[in-house]
């Protein structure tokens, strides 16, 4: 029967959903009103999941969702639900997994799933064209066939639904019968696996398309063996010199379509740039290579210029498209370069950024990459060229910006920004990170509950495991860059919330959704990293660190239970467990904790001298701070004293900085 609905997306906060608010499709948000209607009318659901910076999401929208004829078919046959995967990662995680089970292929966006009224999927895919092409059926015809199958093959679909739900339940790990004794075997095995897939020429792992995988890079960069560190440094160098890095405006794009990091998928995501900023800082600290310092500086400049709101929160992403074309904002043609630059400048830019070769973008335009060497004497001229090209690019129609503030992604940028501030001794970068944390605390922390997303002052949706775990990890980094009593209090509240609302006390580990979250067809509990670190790995790592810092065994025990749960899988096949491996590493060798007390000016010098070793926590606690936990409330004096602890063992205080660095 015809749909009685209208398009209800105009009241949403998500820029992605608002992009579809004027579609002739009668889009509904995922809410109880919509789901109840589907059940009452026994109508199948067409679920479309995407995000605002997604190129192929835009393509499918223009081809099908803006088309009156296609929309009429969708409205007649289905209850149509549009979801922003960034606001509802719980739904995205469930239905991406179900898509893989149904199709035996990896998913992606847009994700197009057809559900029974109870939410169980029975058919799915990703992008579908309006007319048949690329070996794919036309979307309207596909909708007709799917609806016919739902009408005529209900018994088969019901039987398949049971199998799908059982398969989803089977993805949750079962606890081992007996507790394991941890060892370093998975760490060595993971490094060996990464080495086997490493591209020694271009860096990265595997072939095209290539993704940054910052969690794996952090794992390698933190290892003691030179070969592992070199894999990370080579990858960061090739990325920083490639087109995946914006050579004109700073910041990394989401992935490269080729194995050389030359041509990116042009969207820029906050969740990539936060961890990559921190990695560049550590790479510079290890190698002294000025390339990493430049990339960090330019990436921070991009974040401060384009991605931080007036209230301190960081925006989510920049679109891949502008004026309906992917990459148009970023690429160049020779006539434009000759018009903008002097002959000397043009010759340098052409040699440095590869504009003298064949067009490398769609056989018509050039996208900048580092293609030639640069003499020290040429650095000032190249900087002037970059300023000219940046100014010219600023006059173009900009890609759209998704200006919602996501708690988890802000946490990733706060941690990266604070860590870079420590490494490079940049107080203005620390101030940016602290402003973002203050925004999250004031906007997203309501009545001792964390919210997931906000836009224009409206925060909503219960936060997920990743929001809590990543924010806790960010607070631990932020406190090392510049201690504030309120950050420690917030960290304790978040840790207690993790244990109370997400932990599986019997089996170990943390569910992705809270115990009182909306009931869905599946409740994930995963340890594998994706584009962002796994919440279970980050939770174990951060709780472990906070437990050592405060002497709080509840946090240490929860981290232990998490590692116990995932230990069999890590030991059997450690690939993709980078976050949990980091926690395992510190379970085997607890971090060194240095507590400094004394005059703030002197402690700044101590902290600068101690550096920002990722295997060490340094808290500089100025005189006069009230309300510290007993374990941190060390005696005050007129000179700096340091207490060094590892695990449950602490040394006597020392006022000799030389003793700490030798």
Tens-digit pLDDT profile for residues 236-288: 999 999 999 999 999 999 999 999 999 999 999 999 999 999 999 999 999 99
Contact 9, 26 (CB under 8 A): no
pLDDT for the residue numbered 2? 46
The string of DSSP codes covering 123-163 is EEES---SSSBTTB--HHHHHHHHHHHHHH-HHHHHHHHHH
Confidence of residue 646 (pLDDT cuts 50, 70, 90): confident
Residues across the chain: 662
Measured distance CA(105)–CA(102) in Å, rounded: 8
- Taking the CA of residue 207 as centre, how many other CA atoms within 13 Å lie in the half-sphere pointing to its CB? 0
- Residue 489 exposed, middle or buried by CB count within 10 Å (0-12, 13-18, 19+): middle
Task: Write the CB contacts of 339 (distance below 8 Å, at least 6 apart in sequence).
Answer: none
Confidence of residue 561 (pLDDT cuts 50, 70, 90): very high
Contact 540, 562 (CB under 8 A): yes
Q: Are strands 449-455 and 592-598 parallel, antiparallel or unpaired?
A: unpaired
Measured distance CA(368)–CA(349) in Å, rounded: 9
Rounded to the nearest integer, the mean pLDDT of the chain is: 96
Q: Which residue, 108, 109, 102, is CA-closest to 149?
A: 102
Q: What is the arithmetic mean of pLDDT over 629-652?
A: 89
pLDDT by residue (tens digit) across 418-450? 999 999 999 999 999 999 999 999 999 999 999
CA dihedral 478, 479, 484, 487 (to 10 degrees): 70
Measured distance CA(622)–CA(625) in Å, rounded: 6
Measured distance CA(535)–CA(532) in Å, rounded: 9
pLDDT for the residue numbered 444? 98
Determine phi and psi for 215, rounding to 5 degrees: -65, -40
Measured distance CA(323)–CA(528) in Å, rounded: 37
Percent of the chain with pLDDT over 90: 94
Determine phi and psi for 495, rounding to 5 degrees: -60, -45
Q: What is the arithmetic mean of pLDDT over 195-205?
A: 97
pLDDT by residue (tens digit) across 361-389? 999 999 999 999 999 999 999 999 999 99
pLDDT at 1 over 50: no
pLDDT for the residue numbered 3? 54
Confidence of residue 457 (pLDDT cuts 50, 70, 90): confident
pLDDT for the residue numbered 624? 86
Measured distance CA(64)–CA(131) in Å, rounded: 9
pLDDT by residue (tens digit) across 42-52? 999 999 999 99
pLDDT for the residue numbered 475? 98
Confidence of residue 4 (pLDDT cuts 50, 70, 90): low
**E-state strands within 253-301:** 255-256, 264-265, 268-269
pLDDT by residue (tens digit) across 203-223? 999 999 999 999 999 999 999
Q: What is the arithmetic mean of pLDDT over 453-467?
A: 96
pLDDT by residue (tens digit) across 111-154? 999 999 999 999 999 999 999 998 999 999 999 999 999 999 99
């Amino acid at each position: 029967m015809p749909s009685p609905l209208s398009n209800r997306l105009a009241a949403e906060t998500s820029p992605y959903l608002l992009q579809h608010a004027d579609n002739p499709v009668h889009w509904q948000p995922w809410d109880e009103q919509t789901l109840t209607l589907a059940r009452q009318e026994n109508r199948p659901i067409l679920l479309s999941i995407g995000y605002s910076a997604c190129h192929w999401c835009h393509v499918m929208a223009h081809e099908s969702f803006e088309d009156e004829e296609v929309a009429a078919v969708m409205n007649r046959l289905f209850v149509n639900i549009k979801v922003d995967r960034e606001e509802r990662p719980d739904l995205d995680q469930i239905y991406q997994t179900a898509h893989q089970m149904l199709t035996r292929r990896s998913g992606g966006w847009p994700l197009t799933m057809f559900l029974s009224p109870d939410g169980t999927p029975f058919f799915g895919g990703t992008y579908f064209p309006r007319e048949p092409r690329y070996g794919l059926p036309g979307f309207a015809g596909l909708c007709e066939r799917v609806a016919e199958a739902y009408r005529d093959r209900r018994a088969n679909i019901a039987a398949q639904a049971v199998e799908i739900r059982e398969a989803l339940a089977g993805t949750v790990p079962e606890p081992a019968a007996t507790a394991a004794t941890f060892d370093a075997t998975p760490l060595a095995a993971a490094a060996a696996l990464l080495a086997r897939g490493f591209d020694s020429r271009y860096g990265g792992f595997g072939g095209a398309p290539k993704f940054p995988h910052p969690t794996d890079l952090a794992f390698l960069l933190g290892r003691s063996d030179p070969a592992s560190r070199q894999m990370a440094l080579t990858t960061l160098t090739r990325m920083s010199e490639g087109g995946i890095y914006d050579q004109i405006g700073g910041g990394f794009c989401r992935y490269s379509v080729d194995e050389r990091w030359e041509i990116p998928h042009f969207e820029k995501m906050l969740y990539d740039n936060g961890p990559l900023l921190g990695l560049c800082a550590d790479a510079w600290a290890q190698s002294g290579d000025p390339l990493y310092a430049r990339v960090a500086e330019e990436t921070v400049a991009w974040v401060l210029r384009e991605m931080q709101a007036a209230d301190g929160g960081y925006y989510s992403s920049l679109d891949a498209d502008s004026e309906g074309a992917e990459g148009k904002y970023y690429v160049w043609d020779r006539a434009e370069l000759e018009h903008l630059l002097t002959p000397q400048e043009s010759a340098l830019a052409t040699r440095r950024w590869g504009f003298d070769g064949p067009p490398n973008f769609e056989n018509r335009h050039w996208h900048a990459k580092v293609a030639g060497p640069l003499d020290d004497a040429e650095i000032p001229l190249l900087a002037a060229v970059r300023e000219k090209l940046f100014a010219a690019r600023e006059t173009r129609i900009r890609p759209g910006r998704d200006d919602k503030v996501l708690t988890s992604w802000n946490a990733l940028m706060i941690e990266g920004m604070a860590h870079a501030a420590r490494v490079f001794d940049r107080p203005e970068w620390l101030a940016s990170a602290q402003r973002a944390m203050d925004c999250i605390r004031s906007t997203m922390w309501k009545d001792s509950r964390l919210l997931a997303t906000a836009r224009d002052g409206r925060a909503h949706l219960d936060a997920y495991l990743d929001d809590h775990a990543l924010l806790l990890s960010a607070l631990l980094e932020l406190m090392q860059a510049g201690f504030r009593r309120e950050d420690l209090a917030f960290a304790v509240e978040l840790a207690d919330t993790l244990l109370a609302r997400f932990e599986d006390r019997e089996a170990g580990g943390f569910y992705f959704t809270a115990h009182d979250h909306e009931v869905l067809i599946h409740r994930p509990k995963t340890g594998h990293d994706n584009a962002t670190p796994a919440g279970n790995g980050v939770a174990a790592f951060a709780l472990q660190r906070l437990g050592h810092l405060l002497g709080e065994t509840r946090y240490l025990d929860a981290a232990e239970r998490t590692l116990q749960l995932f230990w069999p899988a890590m030991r059997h096949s450690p690939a993709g467990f980078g976050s949990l491996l980091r926690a395992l590493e510190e379970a085997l060798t607890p971090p060194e904790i240095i507590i400094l007390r004394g005059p703030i000016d002197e402690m700044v010098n101590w902290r600068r001298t101690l550096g920002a070793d990722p295997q060490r926590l340094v808290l500089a606690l100025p005189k006069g701070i009230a309300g510290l936990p007993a374990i941190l409330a060390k005696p005050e004096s007129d000179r700096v004293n340091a207490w060094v602890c590892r695990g449950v063992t602490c040394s006597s205080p020392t006022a000799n900085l030389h003793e700490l660095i030798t």
